[in-house]
């Protein structure tokens, strides 16, 4: 994508705070395992597309399909023990990766603990590159777009409704096309009947 070419001198390792990423995506509180796995899959596709090493950091009990310290598709998944320990764990993880580490988080405490030795990227900025991946968000359509649930409408303007006219002349004009429409089905029926006669 180009955004991460800024970090290319050393081997870039993104340490992604999945808790913050979920929050900027509109998911707060206790997130179901299915949604967490969908986010990890999106991160894996992103890592593959950008050719980056990604470490995803979640909190709480490890997921069965994404065990702690193991690879999940293209990314490594780590877990902090609790939300209270999350900031320290994020900072330590980023610091352990050396000069190539980039901490992607919205957690101010984690950024402060990591210090000046770790490059930082706000999760809101990261999300702009992350969301341009061309996938549906990996959430089965549960995430709502800013305009509500008009995702399939794209940039189409709203439909204009015809104003009701109470003029008798307009009523008679409106009725004329209806009469023409009624004739078409009968002519189509005649054509079908002729075909049926030919078969007989």
* Count of C-beta atoms within a 10 Å radius of residue 117: 10
* Token couple for 170: 């307009």
3-state class (DSSP) for residue 77: strand
User: CA–CA separation, 104 vs 35, rounded Å?
Assistant: 20
Question: Which pLDDT does position 187 carry in this prediction?
Answer: 58
Taking only the tens place, the pLDDT of each residue in 22-50 is 998 888 878 899 999 999 999 999 999 88
CATH of 3-140, one of 3.40.50, 1.10.10, 3.30.1600, 3.30.1370: 3.40.50
Helix/strand/coil (H/E/C) assignment for every residue in 125-144? HHHHHHHHHCCCCCCCCCCC
Where do the domains of the chain lie? Answer: 3-140
Taking only the tens place, the pLDDT of each residue in 189-200 is 565 555 554 444
User: CA–CA separation, 177 vs 175, rounded Å?
Assistant: 6
* Count of C-beta atoms within a 10 Å radius of residue 96: 12
Q: What is the greatest pairwise CA distance in the chain?
A: 89
Taking only the tens place, the pLDDT of each residue in 118-161 is 999 999 889 888 877 654 444 443 333 333 344 444 455 666 66
């Amino acid at each position: 994508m180009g955004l991460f070419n800024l970090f290319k001198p050393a081997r870039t390792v993104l340490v992604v705070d999945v808790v913050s990423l979920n929050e900027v995506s509109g998911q707060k509180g206790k997130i179901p395992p299915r949604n967490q796995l969908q986010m990890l899959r999106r991160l894996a596709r992103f890592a593959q597309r950008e050719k980056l090493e990604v470490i995803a950091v979640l909190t709480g009990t490890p997921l069965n399909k994404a065990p702690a310290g193991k690879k999940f598709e293209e990314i490594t998944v780590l877990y902090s023990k609790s939300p209270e320990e999350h900031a320290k764990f994020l900072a330590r993880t980023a610091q352990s990766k050396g000069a190539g580490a980039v901490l992607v988080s919205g957690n101010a405490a984690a950024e402060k603990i990591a210090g000046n030795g770790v490059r930082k990227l706000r999760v809101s900025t990261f999300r702009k590159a992350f969301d341009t991946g061309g996938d549906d968000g990996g959430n089965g359509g549960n995430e709502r777009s800013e305009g509500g649930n008009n995702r399939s409408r794209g940039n189409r303007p709203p439909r204009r409704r015809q104003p009701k006219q109470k003029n008798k002349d307009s009523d008679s004009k409106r009725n004329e096309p209806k009469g023409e429409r009624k004739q078409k089905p009968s002519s189509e029926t005649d054509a079908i009947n002729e075909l049926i006669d030919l078969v007989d």
